[in-house]
Amino acid sequence: MTTVQVDLSTELLELAEMSGALPAQAAAKLIALELFREERVSLGKAAELAGMALKDFITLTAERAIPLHYTAADWQDDHQAALKLAQ
């Protein structure tokens, strides 16, 4: 994977409430969150890009009030799969 280096002000990370994280990690999380919010990447891919476990990324989306884009069709698919597993 190719990487890039970006200079960010401390104030920017503080305003994003990411001042506790390393700058590169904070930027990766914020970019991954935005890509997911815009529905440009899946939940799993966003977690991967952020360098986080899926459950931790889900928690981060909840903390940032970002919906998981779970549709009625998704529920139907999951419901059907659960019914098959229950047999």
On whether residue 1 sits in a domain, the answer given is no
Number of H helices, E strands in the chain: 5, 0
Mean pLDDT rounded to a whole number for the chain: 88
On whether residue 72 sits in a domain, the answer given is yes
Number of domains in the chain: 1
On whether residue 2 sits in a domain, the answer given is no
Measured between alpha carbons, how far is residue 23 from residues 9, 56, 64, 75 in Å? 9, 18, 18, 37
Which residue in the block uniquely carries the two structure tokens 């990690």? 25
Reported as a single tens digit per residue, the pLDDT across 42-70 is 888 999 999 999 899 999 999 999 998 87
Domain that holds residue 68: 10-86
On whether residue 4 sits in a domain, the answer given is no
